[in-house]
Structure 1
Amino acid sequence: MILWVALLTAHCCLGLNGAAAEGTGLDRIEKCSTRCSQGLHCKARPDYIFHPPCQEAAGGLNTSSVFHNISFSTVMMCEGRQKCSLQLRIKTALQLTESIQGVSICTMTAGMMMSCRILKFTRSSGKRMSGLQVEVENDCTSVSPNQRVQVVVKTLPSYCGITWTGTYNAPACISEDMRRHVPDCITGRLSYNVNPVRKELSVSVSEMMEDHNYNLRLCYKDFLCSGAGTNLLIKKEEPVKSVTLPYSRPLPCLCIEGWSAVMDAPRVQVCPFKDRLKELWFGITFDPLEETLSWELVCPVATVVALCQTRKDGVCVDLPNASRNVSRGKIRFTEVDPHPQLCVKFTVGSQFWTRCPFADGRLQAWDVVVTRQRDREQVAVTSRINATFSVGLCVTSAGPAGCQINKTHRVHVGENEAVGLNLSDELRSSCVQVRRLDVKYTATVIHCVEQRNRAAHRRHVVAGGTSWDLIWAFVPVGVCLSGIISVTLLLHVLLTVYLRRRKQRGNEKQKDPPHDCVVPATHQHGGILIPDSPLCGNTEKANLLSE
């Protein structure tokens, strides 16, 4: 029983899904036709543009009393799987009288002449159904996708003042039904794989127009998609419909464009890197002579560009009056001081990115040096250019101001010069705030003297601790070397005493004459006997050698 219920449920779901799928498509017709209410016979024929003058309407006739409801819809007439056209179906409901012999339906589109058709009732059926509300339907007006059509409905004969006018927009190529069957909507389906190492896009094409070649290329999307390389052609007889496209940068506006190789074929674009906005925030240039910072937006994206100054906590605070709105093209900031803390912030919606083009300090034009000598602070401003500065004494605070200025000094520094400020009598705070005055956009730099002195003191303490560590490392080595030297000296003294005593005993033995001379052994050398070890003769020489 449970299995039976499950099968019924699945069948119902499949039926609903099929109905929904069919509902997304357009109604099909085999040929265009004209239909009238049951019992009313009508024939359709083309009408001429130049109509006879209108007639005065009979009493009581007006537009609202004659035309009750006029509706439009689009149907599809097909000659093959990919050879379908769109037809405009016009359904008119009107109150029929004996004086109305039919209706005239005219359509007009931009750039096209007006086209009219007459739907005429037979005399007998019109007389029989006079006084009744009837319906007339015609679907023989060809339209193009997304075309705007103006429709004018009149009575036949044409009565003055009895005219209905309306407009209709044909559906665009957004439905899957039209994209597969209407030639004006068939663009092909693109799929791709990205190889970031080789910077290549492998593109495959499916559902392209039958019996036609296909074009592919890379382009930069704006109002139009401008080419970013050569076009590649996929021939219709090739079994594998795929190509490889190399790219240089993964920009968000870099797209793959494809279209059938026919005149005025619709095109499709797929943008693989549309979310890679961070690729746009490169290419910042600076002219040090003109002191101009410039940047060009290579993709059309609504962006807010602002100059900001980085703080110690990493937050970049916007400079006043340093924000620009740009969606395409190039922007310029003039009179910019290339300080390492000066950065550019890019904001798109709720996202933002920061780039600091001067962070390496190569273009830094000035600096402030604060030193302490003999318990006195000295402030010096050095500059590689002619510049004017504001030097202020301030007290640091936790608020947004950061440093509250008590007094400022205006200082001019020449090219490659250094100007010292004698602020020892006025420096009651721990920080000095410096800002360049002869430019529009500059960073405000704060130097704190006490923090530097404490850092120097810490460095001195660290250096002293390091020297003591070295001393304690060398003490054991010195003790060992001293012990070795002492032992060596003691052994040398003992050896000297021993040798002297032995020499004295030798001298005492020489005073007694020897009893005989003994030659214990000899060996023959060339027929002459030579003693092997003489123990007589020059005994003094022997003693010296033995010693």
Structure 2
Amino acid sequence: MHQDQINKGASSPSGYLSHKTQPHLTLSLSLRATKGEKFTDNESQRSRAEGKEVCVLQVKMVLWVALLMSHCYLGLNGAASHSTGLERIEKCGTRCSKGLQCKPKPHNWFPPRCLNPAEGLNHSSVFHNMNLSTVMSCKGRQKCSLHLRIKTTLKLTESIHGVSICTDTAGMMANCQMFRFRRMSTGQLSGLQVEVENDCTDISPGQHMKVRVNTVPSYCGVTWTGTYDAPDCISEDLSRHVPECITGRLSYDVNPQKKELSVSVSDMLDDQDYHLRLCRKDFICIGTGPYTLIKKGEHIKSAILPYSRPLPCLCIEGWSAVMDAPRVQVCPFKHRLEELWFGINFDSLEETLSWEPLCPETAVVVLCQKRGDDVCVDLAHSSQNVSREKITFTKVDPHPHLCMKFTTGHQSWTRCPFVDARFQAWEVVVTRQQGQEDVKMLSQITATFSVGLCVKSEGSTACQITNTHTMHVERHKAVDLNLSGEQCNFCIQVKRLDVKFAATVIHCLEQCNQTSWDLTWVILPAAICLSGIIIFTLALHVLLTVYQRRKQNMNRGCNSEKRTDPASDCVVPVLQTQPALHGGFLIPDSPQCGNTEKANLISD
């Protein structure tokens, strides 16, 4: 029978039958070993093969069970780690250790003075393992309240008859509760440690309080004190179930073409209407438009809010239509800092440049001068820090090269308020007359300038000053800069001196200021010669035209009058003698006549 079982195990698939026949295989091998029977080679090989299969299956099963157990363990741990909810209680109360009877007593608003404790009686010998925590009791999905749970271990003595628990919050009266122990229980448990737990102290989300635990009667120095902070509304459990924390959830879509925000509300209080608005966030969120009310009975809880500019402090604010309701804000454009660097104002009379931030943002503002390579070089002593206040730069020269640079974090933005030259107070005017460049200073105001001659080195933007002088320019009066005798390809550097912040402007002249040929002395003779050639050509054309017409008239007369004599080939016209006569000149015969002799016309 044992041999048959071994044969069945060898002939059957090892994945199932070997696992089923494992006890029988072990038993048969042990019996054969006790009888001293000898195994044949085939049987020993078969048994070793089956033993290997059994070992492999055992290892696989162990690994599979271990994997399954670890998965379940990790799943339980993961569920526990994600469970951030508070403990729920059905009803608050006071609980004491088994065998200790305690019941609440009215608290005395004017307690008597503390008693002197017996020897060895102090707070460390009485109170042990003080524990403060928050629990939640609920009467509905959105009607939960918070309670402070105070749990302590006491070492009872015959002189301790109870416990007094008080909580203090800034600006509020102390909330105290007293619990007395029955004399029978205190006498029986004297010298033992017992537990007392109470969770009937109402607290608010985020409340900070002081906790004081005294003995009854109160002994001087036998007091435990501590502080506790209740969980805030940021907790997921509170924001869904505690009315003081339910603000609703806002989601939005931005339509930049229409400048509209499509806002949807979820998880709001079920039995209340809901307010929506746009506001600018600072210490408080200042409204920028009317409220939009969403009725509690509406199936689709959404609204359209138009906006003017996508400022980083522009937020959507929502709250339930109840007194002192908590509010929620989401800011769709909080990363659009580039929208802040507008609204720069300039007072041309006071020469004052100012800027006021539309949103509270910490930044560094500095005046700079724009170079040709789009790099803005900071002006000395022009840096100001800004957060919410208006900043002002006094005595500023409004030149197109003068700009304002804003820096926050690692980003910078540059704005040039005078780039359109509306406020430009002065300029350098360069004109060319008779081969020379005439340079003048023209100012819209009376001002003082520093004018210097400089030379630029090749491949460098710096200008080496060679000569500098101060120039006073009256309003609307152009002043000529006498640059005669200067070298070729030089520059002039101009800066206004009667202001605090001004740009340094460089004008470079490309040609030499030396006497050269005037183009008029070349153009005028060429024009005269060309006019003479045109007149001569026209006169010649007229003469040739007259000559051709007269010649044609003579040819027509020759063809119309022919001789009757056959010997004569041509008849000289004598009927029109007057037209043929032209100032005493001889008109040759028509080439159509056979006679080659010329007819001489003699004038009268």
Bin for the TM-score computed over the shorter chain: 0.7 to 0.9
Among 139, 145, 166, the alignment partner of 2:199 is: 139
3-state SS of 2:356 partner: strand
Counterpart of 2:216 (choices 128, 144, 156) is 156
Partners of 1:398 and 1:205 lie apart in 2 by 66
Q: 1:63 aligned to 108, 111, 123, which one?
A: 123
Equivalent-residue separation in structure 1 for 2:486 and 2:190 (angstroms): 108
Contact kept in structure 1, 2:489 and 2:512, CA below 8 Å: no
Structure 2: distance between partners of 1:398 and 1:137:
89
1:31 aligns with 2:91: yes
Query: Which residue does the alignment assign to 1:535?
Result: none
Match of 1:45 in 2: 105
Q: Deviations over 1:129-180 (max 9, x none)?
A: 3333333221111011111111111112110112222211111110111111
Partner of 2:575: none
Contact 1:304–1:347 (8 Å) recurs in 2: yes
CA distance in structure 2 between the aligned counterparts of 1:77 and 1:399, rounded to whole angstroms: 80
C-alpha displacement of 1:403: 3.3
Choose the corresponding residue for 1:91, options 148, 151, 154. Answer: 151
Cα shift at 1:75: 1.0
Residue 258 to residue 74, structure 1, CA distance change in 2 (3 Å): same
For residues 327 and 267 of structure 2, what CA distance do their matches in structure 1 show? 13
Structure 2 residue aligned with 1:277? 337
Matches of 1:88 and 1:397 in 2, distance apart? 80
* Alignment correspondent of 2:273: 213
RMSD: 3.5
Residue 40 of structure 1 deviates from its aligned partner by: 3.2
Aligned partners of 1:453, 1:172: CA distance in 2, in Å? 79
> For 2:226, which of 158, 166, 175 is the aligned residue?
166
Paired position in structure 2 for 1:522:
none
**1:377/1:424 contact within 8 Å kept:** no
Pair 1:446 & 2:506 matched: yes
Residue of structure 2 in register with 1:303 after alignment = 363
3-state DSSP class of the match of 2:250?
Answer: strand
- Deviations, residues 243-283 of structure 1 (Å, cap 9, x unaligned): 11112222111111111111111111111111112111111
Q: 2:416 aligns to what? A: 356
Query: How many angstroms apart in 1 are the aligned matches of 2:459 and 2:269?
Result: 67
Does residue 495 of structure 2 align to residue 435 of structure 1? yes
**Distance in structure 2 (CA, Å) of the matches to 1:175 and 1:270:** 18
Is 1:231 aligned with 2:291? yes
Compare 366-375 and 276-285 and name the one that shifted more: 366-375
CA distance in 1, matches of 2:486, 2:119: 103
Match runs of 1:262-273 below 5 Å = 262-273=322-333
2:488 and 2:512 in contact (8 A); partners too = no
- The structure whose residues are more often strand, as a share, is 1
Q: CA deviation at 1:236?
A: 1.0
Shift of 1:71: 2.3
Deviation at 1:18, TM superposition (A): 3.0
State the distance in 1 between where 2:278 and 2:227 align. Answer: 38
Give the aligned residue type for 2:327: R
Q: Which residue identity is paired with 1:269?
A: Q
Q: In 2, distance between residues paired with 1:398 and 1:252?
A: 46
Q: CA–CA distance in 1 between the matches of 2:369 and 2:403?
A: 6
TM, length-normalised to structure 1 = 0.79
Q: CA deviation at 1:98?
A: 2.8
Match of 1:79 in 2: 139
Once the two structures are TM-superposed, the CA of residue 398 in structure 1 deviates from its matched residue by 9.2
- Which of 13, 20, 29 does residue 81 from structure 2 map onto? 20
Inter-CA distance 106–338: structure 2 relative to 1 (3 Å threshold): same
Please tell me the residue identity of whatever aligns with 1:338: P
Alpha-carbon distance between aligned partners in 2 of 1:39 and 1:397, rounded to the nearest angstrom: 102
Cα deviation for residue 183 of structure 1 reads 0.2
Q: Which of 171, 174, 179 matches 1:111?
A: 171
Structure 1 residues 284 and 149: alpha-carbon distance in aligned structure 2, compared to 1, 3 A threshold: same
Kindly tell me the number of residue pairs found equivalent between the two proteins: 477
Are 1:102 and 1:155, in contact at CA under 8 Å, matched by a contact in 2?
Answer: yes
Distance 1:322 1:148 in 2: 46
Alpha carbons 1:370, 1:447 under 8 Å: kept = no
Name the structure 1 match of 2:242. 182
Q: Distance in 1 between matches of 2:460 and 2:152?
A: 71
Counterpart residue identity of residue 342, structure 2: F
Question: Do 1:371 and 1:449's aligned partners in 2 also have CA atoms closer than 8 Å?
Answer: no
Counterpart CA distance in 1 for 2:512 and 2:98 is: 104
Q: 2:185 aligns with which of 125, 148, 153?
A: 125
* Deviation of the 1:78 alpha carbon: 0.5
Deviation at 1:510, TM superposition (A): 5.3
Q: Which moved more, 1:496-505 or 1:379-388?
A: 496-505
Write the letter of the residue equivalent to 1:261.
A
Deviation of the 1:438 alpha carbon:
0.5
Note the alpha carbon deviations across 1:369-389, whole angstroms, 9 max, x for none: 467889987653221110001
CA contact (8 A) 1:49 1:115 kept: no
Relative to structure 1, the CA distance from residue 176 to residue 503 in structure 2 (aligned partners, 3 Å threshold; closer, same or farther) is same
**Secondary structure of the structure 1 residue equivalent to 2:339:** helix
CA distance in 1, matches of 2:124, 2:331: 52
CA distance in 2 between partners of 1:59 and 1:427 (Å): 108
2:390 is paired with a residue whose SS is: strand
Which one-letter code corresponds to 2:277 in the other structure? R
Q: Distance in 2 between matches of 1:129 and 1:415?
A: 104
Tell me by how many angstroms 1:228 deviates: 1.2
**Residue 380 in 1 paired to residue 440 in 2?**
yes
**Residues 377-424 of structure 1, C-alpha deviations (whole Å, 9 max, x = no match):** 765322111000112233446999933434421111110122233355
1:192 aligns with 2:252: yes
Q: 1:290 aligns with which of 334, 350, 354?
A: 350
Partner of 2:3: none
Pick closer, same or farther for the CA change 1:169–1:428 going to 2, 3 Å: farther
Contact 1:378 1:424 (C-alpha < 8 Å) held by counterparts? no
Q: In the alignment, what sits opposite 2:372?
A: 312
Q: Which of the pair has more CA radius of gyration?
A: 2
For 2:407 and 2:339, the matched residues in 1 are separated by 13
The 3-state SS of whatever aligns with 1:279 is helix
- Aligned counterpart, 1:341: 401
CA distance in 1 between partners of 2:347 and 2:307 (Å)? 30
1:10 to partner: Cα distance: 7.2
TM-score under structure 2 length normalisation: 0.72
Deviations 1:351-375, CA, capped at 9 Å, x for gaps: 1211111001121111224678899
**Per-residue displacement from partner, 1:311-342 (whole Å, max 9, x unpaired)?**
11111111111122221132221111100000
Aligned to 2:320: 260
Name which structure has the greater RCO, CA cutoff 8 Å, separation 6+. Answer: 1
Kindly provide the amino acid, as one letter, of the partner of residue 215 in structure 1. Answer: H
**Cα distance in 2, alignment partners of residues 231 and 207 from structure 1:** 20
Q: Structure 2 CA distance, aligned partners of 1:350 and 1:436?
A: 33
Q: 1:411 to 1:141 in 2, by over 3 A?
A: same
Match of 1:478 in 2: none
Alpha-carbon distance in structure 1 between the residues aligned to 2:268 and 2:68: 38
The alignment status of 1:201 with 2:261, answered yes or no, reads: yes
